[in-house]
Copies of this chain bind each other. A is one copy, B any other.
Amino acid sequence: MKKDKNPGREKILKAAQNEFAARGFAGARMEAIARSAGCNKAMLFYYFSSKEGLYQTILKEVMGEFFTKINGVLTPDLTPAALMEKFPELYIQLFARHPEFVRIVAFDLIHDPDNLCGIMGGIISQMTHFGPHPLFERIRRWHEQGLTSEPDPLHFMMNIVALSIFSFIGKPMVEAISGIRVASDEEFYRRRVASVVNVLKRGMLK
């Protein structure tokens, strides 16, 4: 409704994203978001009517960007090997670039999965171009054709996602237990992708 994209609104969204990622929904402070966005607290209520509203907006935005990227990978001529290569790479690179993503999503996944899944469902059904079911159906067919070893599409996909996403959530934990410190994040993520792709291909490709 304004000339272009409202810069104030965008700053708030960005600031809120960081705050929610760092402290979770309950821990996030509207005042902190406002200060971080360089505006008055009332602005948050002006653009988004409540804390909940702001959160939901971010959730939708984050998930939308997320699924859009994911969608790009899922071309019609996708092979099992290609999926196992591209998916972790995309996931890990995306999350390494936007650490808030993982934290917000993981947070919500723990705290209120139904809400998040509802949003995902909405986004997916909106993507008529390429839904989720086709992928899972294809995974099932791959197994029928003897291309993969995992019969259940759910577990097939879970294995891929688990290895990719845990790189972020669990990194500090495994570091602490092992005492192994990673030199640089960049190097770590490169090796992580390699390891994940390797395990997946050896583990689920026939």
As a 0/1 sequence over residues 162 to 206 of chain A, the CB contacts with chain B under 8 angstroms (1 = contact) are 110111011111111111101000000001100110111111100
CB distance from A152 to the nearest CB of B (A): 6
A157 to B166, CA, bound (A): 12
Q: Which residues of B contact A110 (CB under 8 A)?
A: 24, 102-103, 106-107, 169
The CA of A107 and the CA of B104, in the complex, are separated in Å by: 11
Which chain B residue shows the least CB distance to A178? B136
Q: Is A25 an interface residue (CB 8 A)?
A: yes
CB distance from A129 to the nearest CB of B (A): 16
B203 with A109: CB separation less than 8 A: no
- The verdict on A178 contacting B25 (CB below 8 Å), with A150-B199, A159-B196, A166-B166 known, is no
Interface of A is mostly: helix
Task: Report whether A158 and B153 are in contact in the complex, using a CB–CB cutoff of 8 Å.
Answer: no
Min distance, Cβ A120 to any Cβ of chain B, angstroms: 5
Please give, as numbers and ranges, the residues of chain B lying within 8 Å of A179 by CB-CB distance: 132-133, 136
* Interface presence of A113 (CB below 8 A): yes
| Residue A1 interfacial (CB < 8 Å) | no
CA separation between A27 and B55, bound complex, in Å? 15
